[in-house]
Amino acid sequence: MGDQIPIYDKGTGVAYGTDNKNMMADYNFIWDAKMGNAGSNSMLLGLEYLYQEGGKWGRYGDLEGDFYNYSFYVNDQLLLLGDALVLSAGLRRDEHEVYGAKTTGKIGSAYTFFSMGTTLFANYGTSFRAPSIFNLYSVYGNEDLKPEEGWTVEGGVRQVFMGGRIDVEVTYWYSELDDVIAFDYTIPNPAAPRGYGKYANRDSGETSGVEVAFGSRLTDHLKLDGNYTYTHAYTEKDGERFRTVQIARNKGSLTLSYEADKYYVGITGHYTGPRLRWRGDIDYDDGYTRFDLAGRYNLWKGLSVYTRVNNIFDVEYNEDPFEMPGFYAIVGVTYTHDFMK
C-alpha cells in the first residue's frame, strides 16, 4: 500500500550485516573541603575503561577489529569571594590501544555580580576523539583514519530578572579541529552498497555559533522555557571547504509546562532548519517543526506513572537516511526508593 519505493538489489543472494559491542566501566570520587572564610574547594577524581569491538560480514566483505581505552581524569572547582568567583580546571589522560597516549585539559572561570543578578563566564578546552568502531569497521569504514584533535573557547553572560523568576543566558563558542573525521561520498568503495562513500580525514574543521536560552516562571506552577542555536560548521580539504552535513544552521525549542505536587504536564515545540544530507550535495529537506507532549503523575511514595506523546501532529520529516516515526505514544511506570534511609 502507498507510494511505490525503488528497491536496489544486485541479485547476489548473499546477505550482509554489521555487529558492534561496547563495554564501559567508570568510577569517580568527589572530595569537598571548606577553606575557612576564603571559600570552598571541590575535587573530582575518576577512572574509566572502555572496550569496543565491531565488524561487518557477508556480501560486501568481512572486516572486524577491537580496541580498548583507559582514562584517568581530575577536575577541581574553587569557590571564592562568597561564591561570587568560580575557578575550575581539569585534566584527562587517555591511554588508547591503537592511537597511544593523549592528555587534554580545560580551564574556566565565572564571576557573579549578585546585586545585578549578572554572571560572566569563559572556558577553554582541548579535545581528542579516536575513530569509532563504526568509522573503522563498517561498510563505510576506513582502518587508516587518524584521531581528531582540537580546541574550543566559549564565553557568555547569564542574567536573572524579577528576583529569579526570569533567567536568560547567551553563549558564543568557537572550535577548531585537525584531521576531522567526515563521510565522503565521492570516494570509491567496493564494499559499500552503492560502490561509493567512505569515512576519511579532512585537513581541518571549524564550528562557531551562538546559543540563547531562557526560563520564565509565569506563576508558581507554570513555566515557559526555550532555546535557540545558530551553528556555522564546515570542514576543509586541500583548500576546499565543505559545509558539515546533518547540522542545521538554525535550531530551537519552546516548552510550556505546569507542575504541581503530584503531577506534571508539558508541551514542547521543536524546530530544525534545513541540513545537508549525508552525501553533502543538497539540503535534505526544508526543515521541520514537531510538537511533543509529556506528563507524569505521582501515585504513592516513589511510584509514578508517566506518558510521552511524540509528534502529535504526525509531521513527516527525515533524519537522513531514515524517515522518522509519525505520531506515537508510550506509557510507563517508575518506582524510586532510597535504600540508604
Domain locations in the chain as residue ranges: 67-335
CATH number of the 67-335 domain: 2.40.170.20
Give CA separation, 237 vs 143, 182, 234, in Å.
19, 11, 10
CA distance 280 to 194: 16
What DSSP assignment string belongs to 113-124? ETTTTEEEEEEE
Phi, psi of 166 (to 5 degrees): -130, 135
pLDDT (tens digit per residue) in 211-239: 999 999 999 999 999 999 999 999 998 88
CA distance 151 to 147: 14
Phi, psi of 134 (to 5 degrees): -65, -40
The amino acid sitting at 145 is L
Continuous H helices in 203-341: none
CA distance 34 to 79: 10
Residues paired with 53 in a beta bridge: 21, 66
Would you write out the chain's pLDDT as a tens digit for each of its 341 residues? 677 776 665 556 677 777 888 999 999 999 999 888 888 999 999 999 999 998 888 877 788 889 999 999 999 999 999 999 999 999 999 999 989 999 999 999 999 999 999 999 999 999 999 998 888 888 888 989 999 999 999 999 999 998 889 999 999 999 999 999 988 888 998 878 778 889 999 999 999 999 999 999 999 999 999 999 999 999 998 888 888 888 899 999 999 999 998 999 999 999 999 888 777 766 656 789 999 999 999 998 889 999 999 999 999 887 766 677 889 999 999 998 877 66
Phi, psi of 135 (to 5 degrees): -60, -35
Continuous H helices in 105-258: 133-137
Q: Please answer whether residues 88 and 105 qualify as being in contact, where contact means their C-beta atoms are separated by less than 8 angstroms.
A: no
Between CA 202 and CA 209, with CA 208 as vertex, the angle to 5 degrees is 145
CA distance 332 to 297: 11
Output the pTM of the full model.
0.81
